[in-house]
Amino acid sequence: MERLRKLFGIGQPPESHLQYQPVPPQSHTDTTTPASQKGPASKPSSQLPSDTSQSLMQSVENQIRKVVPLEEDDCLSCKIIGTSACLGTGVFVLYWGRRATPNYAGFKRFLWRGHYYSLAVLMFSAGICRFLDMGVFKKLEEGEEFDLQKRLTEDIEMFKGLPEKISSFFKKPEHSDPKSSKGS
């Protein structure tokens, strides 16, 4: 190590007159002072949340969990942060792509729009895939290795059947005509 210091011309760091002295952490409950001697000034600066705020936070989290599909080993904050990062990047690309569009004319403008629209759609798709655990965000089964070709063929098959699923979702259910059932 000394050779390297001499080679690069690095000297010894100067001695500091400051020394680190760790301070032991203080707990919120001090058992040495009786409660009768404690005044309002002895309360800790950060209060623990009350039971009502804890129950409110728990109910909010339960409502969010009804909407957000979570896997067994996935946490809510990871899913929300990952999804919002992808969606936010898509919004960022759209905003700045549209702002830069006047700089181009003719065919270059057409190409520019194609580039930033496709990148924005890609980021929105990544956000949706993260939210729904699809594509590359799909969790691996135990002992399964990641196979990109297999994942892509599964996704392509899913997207092939998507128009039929969407059209069947929006079809009106066929009801039997009450007049025709009376006549027979």
Q: What region does 39 belong to: left with phi over 0, alpha with psi -120 to 50, or beta?
A: beta
Report yes or no on 18 lying in a domain: no
Q: How many residues does the chain have?
A: 184
Report yes or no on 81 lying in a domain: yes
Report yes or no on 16 lying in a domain: no
Region 20-49: mean pLDDT is 55
Separation of alpha carbons 101 and 109, rounded Å:
6
Tell me: the pLDDT tens digits for 3-33? 656 655 666 555 655 565 666 666 555 555 5
Report yes or no on 22 lying in a domain: no
120, HSE (Cβ side, Cα atoms, 13 Å): 15
Report yes or no on 11 lying in a domain: no
Residue pair 28/44 in contact (Cβ under 8 Å)? The answer is: yes
State the total domains in the chain: 1
Report yes or no on 116 lying in a domain: yes
State the residue range of the domain holding 117. Answer: 65-139+147-166
Task: Look at residue 73 in the predicted model and tell me its pLDDT.
Answer: 73
Report yes or no on 32 lying in a domain: no
Report yes or no on 70 lying in a domain: yes
Does residue 56 carry a pLDDT above 90? Answer: no
Segment among 14-18, 36-40, 54-58, 142-146 with least mean pLDDT: 36-40
